[in-house]
Structure 1
Amino acid sequence: MHRHAAFRKRADRTRGGRGHQRHPVVPDSPDFGGRGSGDRTSDESPETVNSTEHLGQITNYRKRPLAFLLHYVRRHRTAHLVILGSVLLAVICSVCTQYGLKGLIDVISQGPAAQGVWAAFAVLCGLIAADNMLWRVGGWVAARAFVRVTGDVRSDLFLHLAGHSPTYFSERLPGTLASRITATSNAIFQTENTSTWNVIPPIVAVCVAVVLLTTVNPVMAGAVMAVSLAMAALIFRLARNGTPIHREFATRAAGVDGELVDIISNMSVVRAFGATMREHQRVTGAIGEEMTARRRSLIYLEKLRLLHAVLTAFITAGLLAWGVVMWQHGLATPGDMVLICSLGFTILHGTRDLAVALVDLTQHVARLGEALDSLLVEHDLPDHANASALKAGPGHVTFENVHFAYPSRPAVLNDLTLDIQPGQRVGLVGASGAGKSTVLSLLQRFHDVQGGRVMIDGQDISQVTQASLRDMIAVVPQDISLFHRTVMENLRYARPDATEEEVLKATEIARCRDFIEALPDGFNTMVGNRGVKLSGGQRQRLAIARALLKNAPILLLDEATSALDTESEQAIQAALDTLMEGRTVIAIAHRLSTLQNFDRIVVMKAGQVIDDGTPEGLANRPGPYRDLLRKQAPVAEETRPVLRVA
């Protein structure tokens, strides 16, 4: 009872805590209803939110990292304007503090009887107080705004990645993609942080200092400004020349992350083949290349800083000598000397800080650009601009003269025509490479056909939204993928708003409730990475229960009993029979005994249908299906004695 109570408590919390949920399927039968296809459209699903326009805007920034940053800054325009205003005023107050100090020194130098000492003192204190207060205001607002920007970036990049076809992910390491999302977020934060606190302040400080220095000697102010700008331009140009070096480091770092994730996720294989040291050498080599690239990046930065330090030292010495000469000729008061020294250091240190900050900024922008160049690849399977939701129907599937080939590979399907009536159970059989799995992939529009068309209920699936299409299809794959979450969360992944009774009923039908309740925390047990804490058969039964909860009109089975022993397979056949009731079913199976209750068997070879008929009809006439059946005759006769091959 305590497990049921824990399940109920967690279930209620999960349902109540989701901001967006799929509307429940309206049941037609005592168990799950059928599909309620007439009551649900895919527009009700949160996944169907049309973000094509927004994602299209993001991809336009693939080669423009700074424009990408400004795109998100504009989302929080008010906060960033407050930050900018606070920083500008704070820097102005900070530089004017030096002018206030000059005024106080000039008054004090007149002797104890001088007038206006306390007024000058009050002005100086007011400037210092305003300086500190404005910095804190900017910092407080930035702490919120910068975090929101990085959160928006990661969320949008995930949404963009989720729109890619399986081909995109098969060609890239998942760890590299995750690393680049994190790298993009970090680069955005560092770029904003560096720009706000290290680039804008010295620019403003130098400009204000030059204006104040003109009150002492306009020629000196102009000379200092000219030399400072020339030095800053030189440093900045050299910094930009180092961009390829910084991008190389970013690429190597992402590659190391990808290698680590790939190896760790396959650690059982590594140990099985005794390849720990081999993989260690591989990782060490990748880390060595990253370290070399990072060292080159850091050394380049240090060379720039050394050059700037040498130039600054010479300019500072010249400025101080100029001030001393002016004082010797009576052209400057003690306060002027203090102002010349302080403003001179402000200008020189400001240009130094600006140059260093710009060097760092180019490094952050280079990392951002490298990450965006990899992440913001155009989708190869976007929804059409005028795509509409797939209208729910009984599940009539049609392949019309379909031709398909994977990139740089021979054709997999050649002029395939296949008509599957609503509610029909169809098994696809044939040798490996015949095109069976491709049929299931194309029906889910994981790829677009190169010729012909695929239709559901008379609607071309290339003209409907992908979310609405997949809303109408439930899948029990051969390779079961589970999240590192609880059993309950994995079951409810098909339908987050499923009630406790529906979840329990689904697990009973799928013959998995008993083993779930025997787990340490029952339905709240964490299943581990990809469900590693469960056996293959347990994962497959969870997948069947998950498909039951989705309650879609079309069901795809890809070797749905491949991970089960004989006893478990016999027990699960009844669950599959219940799951298939009233649905259009397309199943791939190498064990022909699992298809004997189907309405129809389609035999495929080289991407074409070479035989088609009922299991009994095909078994009782010469042909490829009968040949396949004879090869499995001992198994078929043991498990299905009704069918006999003549």
Structure 2
Amino acid sequence: MRIVGDGSINITYPGVLMSNKTVTITFSDHSGMCPMVAKRQGGAGDGRTMKHLRQMLSVKPFETVHGGRVSNDNKTRSLPTRTLPFIFHYVRRHPVGHLTVLLSVLMAVSFATFSQYGVKHLVDVLSGNRVDEVWSAFAILAGLIAADNMSWRIGGWVSTHTFVAVTGDLRRDLFEHLTGHSPAYFADRLPGMLAGRVTATGNAIFQLEQLFSWNVLPPTFAVVLSIAMLALVSPLMSATLALVSLGLGAVLMIWAARGNRLHERYATDAARVDGELVDVINNMPLVRAFGATLRERERFAARVQDEMSARGHSLRYLERLRLFHAVFTAALTAGLLVWAILLWQHKMASTGDVVLVTTLGFNILHGTRDLAVALVNMVQDVARLSEALATLLLPHDLRDQTDAHTLPSAVGAVEFRDVTFAYPGASPVLKKFNLVVPAGQRVGLVGRSGSGKTTVLTLMQRLRELGEGQILIDGHDIATMTQESLRDAISIVPQDVMLFHRSVIDNIRYGKPDASFAEVEAAAEAACCRDFINDLTEGYDTIVGDRGVKLSGGQRQRLAIARAFLRNAPVLVLDEATSALDSESERAVQRALDRLMQGRTVIAVAHRLSTLKNFDRIVVMQHGRILQDGSPTELERNDGPFRDLLLQQTMMIAAE
């Protein structure tokens, strides 16, 4: 729950532990933190009360509280699509944590670098036999080392909270953005590939924060401080090293950037492997049925081989870069040591100065080596992030208008007014299509495949945008209302029922998340589900499996009907709801549908014309146009396309 402002809410509810008691929730805005205090009226609350309240308040995940009012904020958060702005978008969400990590790292590096000077000072004191200064020099060095370690631990502790919070925010936001895409977006992409990219994006930004905080910022700052400190021994040495380091850094960055194409190819191939894996697992019964196990293994092995090849090219490119850096920095460090020894021979540097140059030289050597490794790893992660964002953050093709309004309490009158629609790259499916369905009327859509029946249902739910015309519910253009309020007015029972890998009760409650168990039982009873649910091992708590694989087709269909009962929307859409069932299952489903349709506006696409015999109207479609429109009795009595379809279907049934 997101809290905005200060206030309180009083909730009276018939809880299990407290019968008809009032619970007060007080809240305040603390940069997204939401400490809530719950108490019974006239007494203190307990942990069980809070647990019950959380269950009540977590029904709608996007609720926002404004000074005692609960409102539903369904606006999708806008996310930057370019990589660097995307990263900084999340850094700015946790400014205190990131600033603390940054300052801790800078302080730790400063103390570590100054400790090198502390070593020089101690060596000079010892070599000069300045006995009185030995312990003070040691104390300074010990203090610097202690401060160095303490700073690292502070930064590390804060980062465990901040970086994890960023990853959680990112994955929630990406999920929110993904759920705003239309069905067409998901139809063109493998689910496993999308899931893999969400995971890869979260991992990439976590790795980038880790790399920058522990492997890029420390050596960079250490090299800068080391070069500055070398000026105490030789300003010329310091200036020379600064120029060489800048040149080396520029070469490494240019070289690393040229490998982006290889890293992006690897990220694409890795996502494709994830997609293939999930696709095959989801269709494993089909693979077994066609004896295609060996074929799929070979196909997957080929995908993995492509990924391995791309990854090998990416890693070998980075290794060449590391090899160049290692040789160059080793030679540079050796040169610094020779330079320091020559200064010592000419009495221009003390023994402590030589020790300082040695320690700083190795500091620079190891620092630039770590920096080079981190930078090339960062380039890889940035490439993965860029590739994932290019797919995940595509703009939504279905958006609410800025002034979109919610649909008032609907009665269910539906009208298509001069609607023209074509799928991308195809000729129009509907052409100047007009249809009026009064509230409470049951209308069946029939026709041959490709006549536009399912498209009518798709457009009515605004799953795609119209080319021309309007669709109205109770006189309101659906393009001007929020998608959420439109969907609230419509229940659907599809041919291919979609169920979550959750319990029976969770799947039924999907139509009304806050429904009581009594309401769920009533919906199950009305949908003819109660008997088979009670026969399941754990009843309503039985997990139905991926897409309901543990249930029969008829059982899945009846669960979908129970879900629609619970939703209790004024408009009901039936898309071939009984076409894939055997006769016994069809009869059970049809009884449930007859109950569900009572008092609702119904628009149904049906293959079996017999299921429409009790409908008020049947509309016969062909090539996106209406050929016939009338009652079942009227159409059956008159010559025309409907009678031809009915005769053809009767002959097919007789032949069986």
Give the TM-score of the pair, scaled to structure 1. 0.90
**Partner-residue secondary structure (3-state), 2:431:** strand
Structure 1 unpaired stretches of 5+? 6-11, 24-43, 639-646
Whether 1:51 and 2:68 are equivalent positions in the alignment is no
Structure 1 stretch 566-575 or stretch 368-377: which is displaced more? 566-575
Whether 1:568 and 2:585 are equivalent positions in the alignment is yes
**Partner-residue secondary structure (3-state), 1:508:** helix
What is the CA distance between 1:560 and its match in structure 2? 1.5
Which AA in structure 1 matches 2:423?
A: Y
**Deviation per residue, 1:181-230 (Å, 9 max, x gap):** 11111110111111110110011101111221111111111111111221
**Is contact 1:404–1:451 with CA below 8 Å preserved after alignment?**
yes
**Deviation per residue, 1:518-574 (Å, 9 max, x gap):** 111111111111000000000000000000001101100112222433233223333
**Partner-residue secondary structure (3-state), 1:17:** helix
Q: Distance in 1 between matches of 2:146 and 2:122?
A: 17
Tell me the equivalent position of 1:37: none
**Is contact 1:555–1:583 with CA below 8 Å preserved after alignment?**
yes
- The structure whose RCO (Cα within 8 Å, separation 6+) is larger is 1
What is the CA distance between 1:16 and its match in structure 2? 5.0
Tell me the equivalent position of 1:69: 87
| Equivalent in 49, 55, 62 of residue 17 of structure 1 | 55
What is the CA distance between 1:631 and its match in structure 2? 2.3
Q: Distance in 1 between matches of 2:236 and 2:601?
A: 87
Give the TM-score of the pair, scaled to structure 2. 0.89
What is the CA distance between 1:436 and its match in structure 2? 0.7
What is the CA distance between 1:14 and its match in structure 2? 9.1
Structure 1 stretch 418-427 or stretch 350-359: which is displaced more? 350-359
**Partner-residue secondary structure (3-state), 1:498:** coil
**Partner-residue secondary structure (3-state), 1:619:** helix
Matches within 5 A, 1:401-480: 401-480=418-497
**Partner-residue secondary structure (3-state), 1:426:** strand
Whether 1:144 and 2:168 are equivalent positions in the alignment is no
| Equivalent in 364, 378, 381 of residue 398 of structure 2 | 381
**Partner-residue secondary structure (3-state), 1:485:** coil
Q: Distance in 1 between matches of 2:204 and 2:529?
A: 46
Task: From the superposition, tell whether residues 480 and 501 of structure 1 become closer, same or farther in structure 2 (CA, over 3 Å).
Answer: same
| Equivalent in 56, 71, 84 of residue 102 of structure 2 | 84
| Equivalent in 603, 611, 626 of residue 586 of structure 1 | 603
What is the CA distance between 1:164 and its match in structure 2? 1.0
Whether 1:491 and 2:508 are equivalent positions in the alignment is yes
What is the CA distance between 1:632 and its match in structure 2? 3.0
What is the CA distance between 1:108 and its match in structure 2? 1.6
CA-atom RMSD in angstroms: 2.0
Which AA in structure 2 matches 1:334?
A: T
Q: Distance in 2 between matches of 1:45 and 1:637?
A: 59
Tell me the equivalent position of 1:596: 613
| Equivalent in 245, 250, 253 of residue 236 of structure 1 | 253
Q: Distance in 2 between matches of 1:167 and 1:597?
A: 34
Structure 1 stretch 393-402 or stretch 350-359: which is displaced more? 350-359
What is the CA distance between 1:280 and its match in structure 2? 1.0
Identity of paired residues, percent?
Answer: 56
**Deviation per residue, 1:121-158 (Å, 9 max, x gap):** 11111111111111011111111111111111111111
**Is contact 2:576–2:607 with CA below 8 Å preserved after alignment?**
yes
What is the CA distance between 1:634 and its match in structure 2? 6.7
| Equivalent in 269, 289, 312 of residue 252 of structure 1 | 269
Q: Distance in 2 between matches of 1:324 and 1:587?
A: 91
Task: From the superposition, tell whether residues 45 and 503 of structure 1 become closer, same or farther in structure 2 (CA, over 3 Å).
Answer: farther
Count, aligned residues: 600
Structure 1: 4+ residue segments shifted above 4 A? 12-16, 634-638
Structure 2 unpaired stretches of 5+? 1-15, 17-49, 62-68
Q: Distance in 2 between matches of 1:15 and 1:562?
A: 43
Tell me the equivalent position of 1:644: none
**Partner-residue secondary structure (3-state), 2:286:** helix
* Greater percentage in strand: 2
What is the CA distance between 1:17 and its match in structure 2? 2.5
Q: Distance in 1 between matches of 2:54 and 2:159?
A: 32
Tell me the equivalent position of 1:191: 208
Tell me the equivalent position of 2:23: none
Task: From the superposition, tell whether residues 556 and 13 of structure 1 become closer, same or farther in structure 2 (CA, over 3 Å).
Answer: farther
Q: Distance in 2 between matches of 1:227 and 1:637?
A: 90
Matches within 5 A, 1:266-277: 266-277=283-294
Which AA in structure 1 matches 2:589?
A: I
| Equivalent in 142, 145, 148 of residue 128 of structure 1 | 145
**Partner-residue secondary structure (3-state), 1:311:** helix
Q: Distance in 2 between matches of 1:14 and 1:439?
A: 43
**Deviation per residue, 1:231-256 (Å, 9 max, x gap):** 12111110111111111100110011
What is the CA distance between 1:300 and its match in structure 2? 0.5
**Is contact 2:56–2:514 with CA below 8 Å preserved after alignment?**
no
Q: Distance in 1 between matches of 2:52 and 2:278?
A: 29
What is the CA distance between 1:623 and its match in structure 2? 1.6
**Is contact 2:97–2:159 with CA below 8 Å preserved after alignment?**
yes
Q: Distance in 2 between matches of 1:568 and 1:212?
A: 84
